[in-house]
Amino acid sequence: MSSLPTTTPNSGTRFTGVAIGLHWLIAIAIIGTFSVGLYMHELPLSPQKLRIYSWHKWAGVTIFMFVALRLVWRLLHRPPELPAGMPVWQRKAAEATHVLLYLLMFAVPLSGWLMSSAKGFQTVWFGVLPLPDLLDKNKELGDLLQEVHELLNFGMAALVIAHLGAALKHHFIDRDDVLARMLPFLARTTGDIK
Amino acid sequence: MNCRLFGPTLAGAFLIIAPAAHAIEFNQFQAGKSALSFVSKQMNVPVEGQFKSFRSKIAFDPAKPAAARAELEIDLASIDAGSKDANDEVAGKAWFNTKEFPVAKFVATSVKPLGGNRFELAGKMTIKGRTQDLTTPVTLRQEGNSATFEGSLVLKRADYALGEGMWADFGTVANEVQVKFRLVATAATAAAAAKK
């Protein structure tokens, strides 16, 4: 990727504005959609439940598209370097967490879409754009995919907590600029923004 | 002549208008080959369902469509509305209220030829104690001893008080429900008639 044009040099101390915007937009959308998912599945059947399910599915499709956009942006723009003194195991853990989070940001909505198809409820984005049903209706498969969707979500929640914990640890214990790369107003050093 | 299928009054009426002996009459309903399905729209998304148990009394002579008879009884508790949640819900009072109204019934009142193998079937549909006039085109496919009657029509759920209370609004579950039917009847053969 280093041969590709970049808007942010490797030595930069912050992500690009687009990367920051996509990160926080997707973060808020995922937390919201995850919470709605936790809340909705125990509801008794009602028009409200059908509406909430639809909005949850539409949100998932939307997040998937933003994540695709974000991955393309990420591949074209190298993130700023990590602090020089960071131990190798921490760099590796950070890298692994980020790769897994990207995988899950795709896998979670994908599993929801497949689950929906297997349960016989097509996903029609905002009630307008029908997504194809990749699977035929199959109750057992639908139940299995529901478990998969749930497991992937709890896996993602655990990773998000680790990701958040690491960011806070960098900011408050290591007192470096790792969090400020994604939240520039927190930057401790001055003069290199923009 | 198979009179077992009809109530005494209908049977009497039917005997008078019975066609000549050489005419073919499809009157042996074949439950296993028949199907009754529907598509409802939830949040503008089509959701398929079906009824697994229903009975029909059919007497149809293609040469005398006006003399045709048809009745359909549907066991509403046999519904598959797409999920267990939905099946439990639609059995309840807001929908079919299957405890009080276990059966939906259609009784044909007229059959008009539309040319070729197409007919217009009119009759009265009773669901949940509400009776409505209903008209639907029917296509006949005849294969030897067997006749397949197929058609599809749109029912409005509100006409039968299906989905009351919180479901009454059409924003989530549309009023229009597409119903598709395939009813198969065979003609009684001489051998089958002899068994009676």
Per the domain annotation, does A123 fall within a domain?
A: yes
Q: What is the pLDDT of residue A125?
A: 94
| pLDDT score of B189 | 66
The class level of CATH for B8-195 reads mainly beta
CB-based contact, A119 to chain B, within 8 Å? yes
By Cβ distance, the residue of B43, B88, B89 closest to A51 is B43
Tokens of B21: 């002996």
Q: With left for phi above 0 and alpha for psi between -120 and 50, is residue A51 left, alpha or beta?
A: alpha
Share of chain B above pLDDT 70, in %: 85
A143–B contact, CB cutoff 8 A: no
> Cβ separation of B171 and A47 shorter than 8 Å?
yes
Provide the ipTM. Answer: 0.74
Closest CA to A124 of A193, A29, A60: A60
pLDDT of residue A188: 74
CB-based contact A124 B166, cutoff 8 Å: no
Q: Which residues of chain A have pLDDT under 70?
A: 1-12, 189-194
How many beta-carbon pairs below 8 A join chains A and B?
43
The Cα of B100 is separated from the nearest Cα of chain A by a number of Å equal to 22
In a domain, A8, yes or no: no
Burial A26-40 (b: 16+ CB within 10 A, else e): beebbeebbeebeee
Show which residues on chain B lie within 8 Å of chain A, measured between beta carbons: 42-48, 82-83, 85-86, 88-89, 166-167, 169, 171-173
Decide if A98 is inside a domain: yes
pLDDT at position A149, please?
98
Q: Which domain holds residue A46?
A: 17-186
Q: What's the pTM value of the predicted model, to 2 decimals? A: 0.80
A121 in B contact zone (CB under 8 Å): yes
Q: Best of A45, A129, A137 to disrupt the B interface by mutation (most B CBs within 10 Å)?
A: A45
Burial environment of residue A108 by CB neighbours within 10 A (0 to 12, 13 to 18, 19 or more)? buried
Look at residue A194 and tell me if it is in a domain.
no
**The token pair that represents A160 in the structure block:** 């998000």
From the list A45, A46, A124, the residue facing B45 with the nearest CB is: A124
User: Where residue A52 sits, what CATH number does that domain have?
Assistant: 1.20.950
- Residues of chain B with confidence (pLDDT) below 50: 1-8, 10-21, 190-196
Facing B42 at nearest CB: one of A50, A123, A130 = A50
| Residue A189 pLDDT | 61
**The pLDDT of residue A133:** 93
Question: What's the structural domain count of chain A?
Answer: 1
- How do the domains of chain B map onto residue ranges? 8-195
**How far does B143 lie from chain A, in Å, by closest CA?**
31
Question: pLDDT tens across A65-80, in order?
Answer: 999 999 999 999 999 9
Q: Note the helical H segments in B18-167.
A: 84-91
